[in-house]
């Protein structure tokens, strides 16, 4: 078979620990034999980030802006232990944070569903994709504990020095707490555009919810911005695609989500997204089956797995012990990126290859061949636990049959 040709390079961001091992196995077993891979390689492994004073992370984000599609391996976000372990010059920032800030994007997380692994909410037969706004609110707050007798006010000084004051509370009979939150229109607008673009891209309805009945200025601003952008820029495109934008109150949304069968995108404010993404991920069964894509408002895409570098498995691997690490989310990051590259460059054979590789992966698990994490969850009768590499080889057997 002749290898599939590419036109534009894919931005490839390598990473750390067990996922770095998996990265190479995926490429060697499932990509390079079939695709004449054109990639611009950036090594975001912690050692090289340290060597380049983290410049490589910035370069990889600029390359993503230039070419439009990236695939990223999980990376270590250094903490004090890692500074010692890797003898770092500095406690470098989270690569995901750096890349997200440069691309101004929104993260969409979606579960991969397979037979044998039933979600805790059994009616969820289709994926629920969570889009979390990643700026402001309680994550950039100012807060105080205030003593009894305090009067607390919200004060805004405009550029001409005029002050607007509003009383928050007079703490006459008890000490208490206060908190100042903010968000900016520009960030909310970007979030809205990312969400609407992604809905069009994946042909799914999109739901958005806030508490605008209680928060008549703050949350209401989110609702208004979404509505304005939708009406002005997306309504016709949504009609043509046969999909819907649906706004409701956050508590109503939660009730509807639980009763639903899935198959839509749920856009969440920052805090709601933090909480609900963990709820949804757990309900679908395994973090190792959760994909993640960062989409910017101008239409660049960075695909990755939602999980981290699986450190505990890596230390076993280093000791020469056998591992059974799930590579599915990382594999789907590759297929997502290759398919998107194929779509943008008009390469239908590359898109078809990505589809078949995903199909082969799901078929492998549904045939009962799986890694340890899924083995514990799967209700299939004839299931077999395999090691990290055996799983990818089993996928390859099925892929060959599909090609």
By CB under 5 A, name the binding residues for Mg ion: 274, 278
278 binds, among Mg ion, ligand NAP, none (CB under 5 to 8 A by kind): Mg ion
Q: What are phi and psi of 254, to 5 degrees?
A: -60, -45
Contact flag: residue 60 with ligand NAP (CB under 6 A): no
- First-last CA distance in the chain: 9
Contact flag: residue 311 with ligand NAP (CB under 6 A): yes
Contact flag: residue 56 with ligand NAP (CB under 6 A): no
326 binds, among Mg ion, ligand NAP, none (CB under 5 to 8 A by kind): ligand NAP
Contact 222, 210 (CB under 8 A): yes
Q: How far is the CB of 268 from Mg ion (least distance, A)?
A: 11
Instruction: Return the structure tokens found at 198.
Output: 């992604």
Contact 371, 326 (CB under 8 A): yes
Contact flag: residue 76 with ligand NAP (CB under 6 A): yes
Residue of 50, 57, 75, 129 that binds ligand NAP (CB under 6 A): 75
- Annotate each residue in 240-279 with x if it binds ligand NAP (CB under 6 A) or - if it does not, as one string: ----------------------------------------
Q: How far is the CB of 81 from ligand NAP (least distance, A)?
A: 9
Stretch that binds ligand NAP, among 69-77, 147-155, 263-271, 339-347 (CB under 6 A): 69-77
Distances (CA, A) of 349 to 3, 149, 345, 361: 10, 71, 11, 18
Residue of 308, 343, 355, 359 that binds ligand NAP (CB under 6 A): 308
Contact 350, 83 (CB under 8 A): no
Distances (CA, A) of 204 to 241, 282, 329, 402: 9, 22, 21, 27
64 binds, among Mg ion, ligand NAP, none (CB under 5 to 8 A by kind): none
Residue of 39, 60, 325, 363 that binds ligand NAP (CB under 6 A): 325
Residues β-bridged to residue 12: 41, 71
User: What stretches of 45-126 adopt beta strand conformation (E)?
Assistant: 69-72, 106-111
3-state secondary structure string, 305-342? ECCCCCHHHHHHHHCCCCCCCCCHHHHHHHHHHHHHHH
Q: How far is the CB of 85 from Mg ion (least distance, A)?
A: 25
Residue of 25, 35, 74, 276 that binds ligand NAP (CB under 6 A): 74
Find, among 344, 308, 331, the residue nearest to 393 by Cα. Answer: 331
Stretch that binds ligand NAP, among 49-57, 71-79, 175-183, 240-248 (CB under 6 A): 71-79
Residues in contact with ligand NAP by CB under 6 A are: 74-77, 96, 287-288, 304, 307-312, 325-326, 373
């Amino acid at each position: 078979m002749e290898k599939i040709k590419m036109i534009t390079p894919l931005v490839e961001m390598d990473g750390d620990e067990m996922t770095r091992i998996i990265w190479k196995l995926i490429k060697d077993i499932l990509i390079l034999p079939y695709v004449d891979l054109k990639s611009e390689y950036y090594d975001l492994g912690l050692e090289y980030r340290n060597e380049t004073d983290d410049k490589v992370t910035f370069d990889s984000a600029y390359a993503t802006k230039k070419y439009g599609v990236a695939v990223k391996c999980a990376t270590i976000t250094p903490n004090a232990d890692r500074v010692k372990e890797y003898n770092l010059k500095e406690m470098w920032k989270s690569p995901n944070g750096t890349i997200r800030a440069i691309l101004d994007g929104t993260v969409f997380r979606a579960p991969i569903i397979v037979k044998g692994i039933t979600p805790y909410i059994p009616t969820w037969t289709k994926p629920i994709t969570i889009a979390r706004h990643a700026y402001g609110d309680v994550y950039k707050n100012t807060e105080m504990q205030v003593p009894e007798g305090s009067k607390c006010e919200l004060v805004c000084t405009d550029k001409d020095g005029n002050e607007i004051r509003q009383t928050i509370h007079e703490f006459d009979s008890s000490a208490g707490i206060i908190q100042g939150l903010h968000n900016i229109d520009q960030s909310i607008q970007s979030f809205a555009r990312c969400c609407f673009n992604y809905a069009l891209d994946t042909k799914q309805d999109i739901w958005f919810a806030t508490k605008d009945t209680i928060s008549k200025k703050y949350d209401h601003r989110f609702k208004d911005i979404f509505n304005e952008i939708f009406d002005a820029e997306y309504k016709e495109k949504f009609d043509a695609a046969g999909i819907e934008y649906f706004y409701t109150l956050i508590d109503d949304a939660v009730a509807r989500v639980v009763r639903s069968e899935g198959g839509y995108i749920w856009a969440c404010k920052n805090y709601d997204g933090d909480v609900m993404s963990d709820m949804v991920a757990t309900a679908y069964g395994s973090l190792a089956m959760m994909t993640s894509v960062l989409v910017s408002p101008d239409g660049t895409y960075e695909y990755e797995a939602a999980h981290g570098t699986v450190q505990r498995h890596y230390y076993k691997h280093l000791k020469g012990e056998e591992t059974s690490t799930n590579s599915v989310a990382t594999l789907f990051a590759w297929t997502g990126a290759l398919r998107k590259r194929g779509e943008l460059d008009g390469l239908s054979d590359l898109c078809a290859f990505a589809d078949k590789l995903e199909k082969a992966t799901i078929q492998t698990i549904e045939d009962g061949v799986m890694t340890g994490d899924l083995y514990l969850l799967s209700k299939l009768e004839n299931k077999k636990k395999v090691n990290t590499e055996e799983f990818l080889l089993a996928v390859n057997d099925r892929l060959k049959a599909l090609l």
